[in-house]
Amino acid sequence: MSATSQNVRLLAVTPNALELIYAAFRQCYHAGYVGDMWDRLLSGEISRGKQADFVARILTSGHESPVEHVSFTFAIEGVSRTLTHQLVRHRIASYSQQSQRYVDAKDFDYVLPPSLAKVPEARARYEAFMREAATAYRDLQALLVASGREARASNEDARFVLPGGVETKIVATMNCRSLLHFFELRCCMRAQWEIRALAGRMLALCREALPVIFSAAGAKCERLGYCPEDERFSCGKYPVRRENLHNPA
């Protein structure tokens, strides 16, 4: 068992993502049937540049629902159960997480918070506790098996001693609109450090795959031009909303 680090891989994006979003937007404003233009989109007869310009222009009006037709799927490892408890609160998404019932965790890795890593005494105590938790987990497994419990089933109740810092792996799928909302909340400096780091990695992958949607994505203040938080919680990058309203640019 040891401290681990985040790793995110983009597994899949809806095929022909730009063309699909363009077609969905066009259907909202087009008297005809976009199915008839689909082959022209795929062939490049209607250039990707033209499609991207149209999508970007409509997005600035606040019309976002057509981007829901495209989804991204990520494989995520090196994150804590503390993080995934936050992640799964984003409900318009699909998740498949490593099970502590079926996966033996006696040699678990863990996430080491940077604040603890900077203080030698805090790090030592944290890592000692992780070793204690692993020992307790193995002891409980052995006691349950000795009592007649099936070895694999012993994980089910032994896992109750595992701390929130235990490393886990998860596959997550979100559509573009859900991702934009996720980035607005989790790229903010007020977000917990671990999920903020995850959001940054996911956003970099999204920008590379579909820049027309994600080039300007990020914390909500980036879109608004002001901080929507109370001034007590603002990081100071943008003026808070009260200041912005009283001092218009």
Just list the catalytic residues.
Answer: 186
CA distance 72 to 173: 6
CA distance 225 to 64: 19
**Beta strand extents in 49-143 (DSSP E only):** 71-80, 93-97
Type and span of the H or E element at 249: none
Q: What is the DSSP letter of 215?
A: T
- Helix, coil or strand: residue 227: strand
How many other CB atoms are found less than 10 A from the CB of residue 180? Answer: 21
Q: Which two tokens stand for residue 230?
A: 């109370």
CA distance 208 to 199: 14
Q: What is the DSSP letter of 32?
A: S
- Helix, coil or strand: residue 167: strand
